[in-house]
Amino acid sequence: MSAVRFDGTALGVFAFFFLLVTVLGFFAARWRRGDLSQLHEWGLGGRRFGAFVTWFLLGGDLYTAYTLIAVPALVYAVGAYGFFAMPYTVLVYPIVFLTMPRLWNACRKHGWITSADFVEGRYGSRGLALAVAVTGVLATMPYIALQLVGLEKVFEAMGLGALGIGKETPLIIAFVILALYTYSSGLRAPALIAFVKDAMLYITVIAAVVIIPIKLGGYGAVFDAAEKAFATKGGDTGVLLKPDQYWSFATLALGSAFALFLYPHATTATLSADGPQTIRRNAVWLPAYSVMLGLVALLGYMALAAHIEVTDGSMAVPALINASFPPWFAGFCFAAIALGALVPAAIMSIGAANLFTRNIWRAYVNGHLTDAQESRIAKNISLLVKFGALLAVLYLPTKFAIDLQLLGGIWMLQIFPAVICGLYTRWLRASALLAGWLAGMVLGSALAWQQGLKPVYTFVFGDAHYGIYIGLIALALNFAVSILMTPVAARLKRERCPDRTQAIDYQDALPD
Amino acid sequence: MPRKLTPWLLLIPFVALLWVPLYNRMQPTVAGFPFFYVWQFVWVVLAAVLTWIVHRGWRA
């Protein structure tokens, strides 16, 4: 069975939805109108999104096209191990519930729009803020590139190659459109598009998890068939974890949960909420998306049960869609996945642009920007970031973006002590945190490199093997260095850098 | 439950999901799903409920 199917109806449905969101994207500039020459209006939607909009925005932001393709691809390839995404996306919300309202409160009080702004204000250290900003930008670039890879898979499955235009042309068109409406509407564009995207995605997923198993003889049969498929592959993996996978499964879930809201796109969408209660309410209701992600992951097993054979695992879901649905609905599903790429890509480019403008450009190049100049620079940077990602996807091997994204997760975790601990205490000194960050970055990258760009390092004690997520190993060193260096830093440098926040800044404001 | 204690409820999902041997088993199956998957789906809901309980305590 071929993974690729060209069909006019599918393409027509796809094109319709793509046009619809393009119109929405440009119209968004007028939605909840604000002065888009202010960075907090362009880059944070004016901090006015209520619980409902934020739910769609964050859902559309965190559950990306790459996730929708990569998670089932991993499950298709290695079984239960790929399900670490499930505990990951459950455990992230208690963390968000506890930490993000504090960040929102402090940032609102001081007009900050990035986590690096917060770090600079809290520790009075431009160096530490730069480290936070650079980490965010570095980790986001490959993530945007992977959204493009998601788009590419969709175009491939729709057989656009057969039209003789190659898969580059539609990719370029999609990205130019995305770049233009992000430029003109800022965060309002992905917020509005997220409604359409998430609704379509829920329809796609519900249809898939109801209809496909019926064709395959029920879920019992799906799991049985998947288990057999893994057994014929050698039985190193299966629909249950092997004991030597326990530690890597748990640490990957935990480490990823810690890292997620440190990413600029997550911070940006969180800070655009209209208040701390909106964030807490979302921590209660966002797990609905985790149910969906779990169901999407099951598509990997369904692909095995349906005897879908693809060499590239990321084609498993597109091929399954082609094999299971009539062309019009396949077009609908592909549009849903493609929009799943555009929403996060827009927010990621905005998040990176906010960081670059505020914490690199304004801090080091020109400190006397007017609000309008600041907003204009951010818009241009968002374009630059996206075209960089586009060039990377067109001219570099996909593996490069995947490897960098893996490193990005490890890197992102290294700002945890500065940002998250900083929300509670200023005991750690800026220079000690900087040293810890550097140690964590170096160790994390080196270990990942030494493992052949794999996320897990295996400790061997006698006969026992413990695979631990490298991000957490590096974070442990980061913490150790930060804690041990703090008394040293305090002795070397007596005066304390000014802390511009007070304890009350982190509390919810009293209602007027 | 005293208000000060409710945030600690949020630790429960961490134990439930990170202690993998607890749920890495086939039986009992529910609607064809091995227990490994049932447990994870159930905990999505339970974690949300716990967060909601803590949230209510916050407002009170």
Query: Which tens digits make up the pLDDT trace of A100-143?
Result: 999 999 999 999 999 999 999 999 899 999 999 999 999 998 88
Whether chain A has a CB inside 8 Å of the CB on B41: the answer is yes
Measure CB to CB from residue A219 to each of B32, B45, B50 and give the nearest one.
B32
**What's the CA gap between A273 and A33, in Å, rounded?**
16
Q: Where are the beta strands (DSSP E) in A198-339?
A: none
Q: Which of these ranges, A42-46, A163-167, A198-202, A251-255, has the smallest mean pLDDT?
A: A163-167
**What's the CA gap between A160 and A18, in Å, rounded?**
15
Average pLDDT estimate for A338-355: 91
Give the chain A residue nearest B32 (alpha carbons): A220
Query: Which tens digits make up the pLDDT trace of A71-108?
Result: 999 999 999 999 999 999 999 999 999 999 999 999 99
Of the two residues B51 and A462, the one the predictor is more confident about is B51
Identify the three-state secondary structure at position A123. helix
Distance from CA of B11 to the nearest CA of A (A): 8
Identify the three-state secondary structure at position A465. strand
| A383 contact partners, CB below 8 Å, separation of at least 6 | A179, A183, A349
Whether chain A has a CB inside 8 Å of the CB on B8: the answer is no
ipTM here: 0.94
Name the packing angle between helices A398-413 and A470-492 (round to 10°). Answer: 40
Percent of chain A with pLDDT over 90: 53
Measure CB to CB from residue A97 to each of B24, B41, B51 and give the nearest one.
B51
Query: Which tens digits make up the pLDDT trace of B14-27?
Result: 999 999 999 999 98
- State the pLDDT at residue B2: 56
Helix (H) or strand (E) holding A458: strand A456-461
Query: Which residues from chain A sit within 8 angstroms of residue B36, using beta carbons?
Result: 80, 83, 239-241
**What's the CA gap between A158 and A165, in Å, rounded?**
13
**What's the CA gap between A82 and A391, in Å, rounded?**
30
CA neighbor of B19 nearest in space, from B5, B39, B4, B44? B39
- State the pLDDT at residue A258: 96
- State the pLDDT at residue A1: 47
Query: Which tens digits make up the pLDDT trace of A19-33?
Result: 998 888 888 888 888
Q: Does the pLDDT value for residue A59 go beyond 60?
A: yes
Query: Which tens digits make up the pLDDT trace of A228-240?
Result: 999 998 878 899 9
**What's the CA gap between B49 and B51, in Å, rounded?**
5
Contact at CB, B32 and A91, closer than 8 angstroms:
no
Query: Which tens digits make up the pLDDT trace of A310-332?
Result: 888 889 999 999 999 999 999 99
> What distance lies between CA A17 and its chain's CA centroid?
23
Helix (H) or strand (E) holding A466: strand A464-469
Measure CB to CB from residue A284 to each of B32, B41, B52 and give the nearest one.
B52
Interface test with B, best of A63, A83, A86, A98 (most B CBs within 10 A): A86
Query: Which tens digits make up the pLDDT trace of A203-212?
Result: 999 999 999 9
Measure CB to CB from residue B17 to each of A90, A221, A246 and give the nearest one.
A90
Whether chain A has a CB inside 8 Å of the CB on B44: the answer is yes
The C-alpha torsion from B23 through B44 and A321 to A397, rounded to 10°, is -80
pLDDT band at residue A155 using 50, 70 and 90 as cut-offs: confident
3-state helix, strand, coil split of chain B in percent (to 5) is 75, 5, 25
Average pLDDT over chain A, rounded to an integer:
90
Average pLDDT estimate for A195-220: 92
- State the pLDDT at residue A142: 87
Contact at CB, B55 and A283, closer than 8 angstroms:
yes
